[in-house]
Amino acid sequence: MTGPNLSEWVLKHRSFTIFLMIVVSIGGLSSYFSLGRNEDPAFTFRTMVVQAAWPGATLDDTLRQVTERLERKLQDTKGLDFVRSYTTPGRTTIFVNLKGSVGAAEVPDVWYQVRKNIGDIRHTLPAGVVGPGFNDDFGDTFGLIYGFTADGFTHRELRDYVEQIRSRLLNVQDVSKIEIIGAQDEQIFVEFSVQKLAGLGIDRNALIAAIQAQNSVVPAGSVQTSQENLSLQVSGAFRSEDDILDVNFLSNGRMIRLRDIAEVRRSYADPPQPLFRVNGKPAIGLAIAMRPGGDILALGRNVTAEIGEAVDDLPLGIEPTLVSDQPAVVDHAIGDFTTSLWQAIVIIMGVSIVSLGIRPGAIVALSIPLTLAITFPIMQAFGIDLQRISLGALIIALGLLVDDAMTTVDVMTTRIAQGDSKEAAASFAYKSVAFPMLTGSFVTAAGFVPIGFAQSAAGEYTFSIFAVVTITLFVSWFVAVLFAPLLGVALLKRPETAAPGKPNVVMRTFRAVLLAAMRRRW
């Protein structure tokens, strides 16, 4: 290989190279424990939901005047794959799907354009249309879900405590979003009999207008003095159900109190919002999502600790229950793959020692942890977590990363047996096989290019296979030309006899087949 001889340079600076090996090993170990953990790699959902409501409209009117107008405008979306809609009387739901070739970084800009384009035609929709509304974050994964049950507390009191805990959990590291599940909104119901209103000759519109006017918020001005500015507020806002019952209004020339003709009660929205139960008991849930690139195992530990501190401040009767525990699932999945990874490392190291001999095999075996120690910080720099795809890629790469070190050791062993010094053998190995090893790494990495550059959600999901294998291959080349020669000089010994040994049966058979194939090219 042309250019400076890296192996020769390493042997002239042995102290620095040994120091570099120690630093690399410590850095790799530190990166391994600080790498993010997740069950699967993150990928981008290329689907948005657009919804609009037109209360009272028929199916045909909703389809023609709302759904079709929105669909025609959505067809102008850049990178659109297809649009799918679902229409019922008074409501339309449209799914906007982008092509897989739209990059993950481009998707937020595309959704912004969708919102802007729909906003441009909002004034053309029929009067009374509610929306359209947009949802493009339904792909968020909630790794932890806690359910809170209450014994002796109302639903509203439980919700207040749960919202306090939510505020505390938002400060936990790696938490990106927390949603409350199963909380019911309170409403004030004013119930009166239509027959009674008709019998008393009460105008229903006047009744409703009186209630709305009493509770309206209007500016009353301010009084400015030489020292301060005082804001004036009109009293009369509703503070309780009794305040509503005390409303007086004028109907047909007489004053009527609402208490005499109606009932007022506080209750929850009807129909209710989606309910949440834990072990058959009504509950309110907290769904916790992790930020991209976070460590789900660390998130689980931190959230558990914060929940424990928050429970200490809760009154007796409110109990949290862990409903969904993704950290435990990830710990099990990552543990299985990690065990397979270490087993593969031990097997390859053992086979190298048995097949090559103790000293040459030890050099090849030591190149494996050195390669991984450099690979982990690079994975961390590129934001590649430890998950099932990246760990599977490491297992695939284990059978490839020993090739370069094995080639270097084989050349050094042969040259030492022929009488060269260890330093000369290491220098010769670089000059003779460094470039072929490098081109071989390029060729092997090229085999994974279709995975790495596939323009689809599947390609985004499996990208870490290409990235990890490529990183490992080129790191193994540097290990083979930098660290393997130094280890070879330290561990390899000159054979007692310089005469080449007699080939065994396997070698003789392989040589005969090879020669026969070369002579009969057809």
- How far, CA to CA in Å, does 252 sit from each of 205, 211, 258? 13, 17, 15
Number of DSSP helices (H) and strands (E) in the chain, helices first: 18, 16
| pLDDT for res 478 | 92
Q: Is-cis flag, bond preceding 271, omega within 30?
A: yes
Contacts 24+ apart (CB under 8 A), 97-105: 97/46, 97/47, 98/46, 98/47, 99/46, 99/455, 100/46, 100/455, 100/456, 100/457, 100/458, 100/459, 101/455, 101/456, 102/46, 102/78, 104/43, 104/44, 104/460
Contact 445, 365 (CB under 8 A): no
Model pLDDT, residue 477:
92
Q: Backbone phi, then psi, for 263, in 5-degree steps?
A: -120, 140
| Side-chain half-sphere CA neighbours of 40 within 13 A | 9
- 90 neighbors 62 (Cβ within 8 angstroms): yes
Q: What is the pTM of this model?
A: 0.69
Phi, psi (degrees; rounded to nearest 5) at 319: -125, 135
Element (H, E) at 241: helix 241-245
d(C-alpha 136, C-alpha 110), whole Å: 11
pLDDT beneath 50, residues of the chain: none
Rounded distance between C-alpha atoms, residue 45 and residue 48, angstroms: 8
Cα of 329 vs its chain's centroid, Å? 15
The CB density around residue 325, as the number of other CB atoms within 10 Å, is: 15
Rounded Cα gap, residues 318 and 196, in angstroms: 45
Interacting residues of 245 by C-beta distance below 8 A, sequence separation 6+: 257, 258, 259, 262, 264
Q: Give the pLDDT of residue 496.
A: 66
Query: What is residue 236's predicted lDDT score, i.e. its pLDDT?
Result: 65
Measured CA angle at 492 (ends 488, 493), to 5 deg: 155
Angle between helices 388-417 and 463-491 (to 10 degrees): 30
Pairing of strands 254-257, 262-268: unpaired
Residue 219: partners with Cβ closer than 8 Å, 6 or more residues away: none
Asked if residues 59 and 351 have their Cβ atoms less than 8 Å apart, the reply is no
Query: 48 by DSSP, 3-state: which?
Result: strand
Contact predicate 504/430, CB 8 Å: no
Residues 137 and 321 sit within 8 Å (Cβ to Cβ): no
Convert the pLDDT of each residue in 316-329 to its tens digit.
888 888 888 888 88
Helix (H) or strand (E) holding 187: strand 186-192
Specify which residues 53 forms β-bridges with: 91, 130
Burial label for 393, CB within 10 Å (0-12, 13-18, 19+), is buried
Distance CA 485, CA 367 (A): 11
Distance in angstroms (rounded) separating the CA atoms of residues 320 and 151: 12
DSSP 64: I
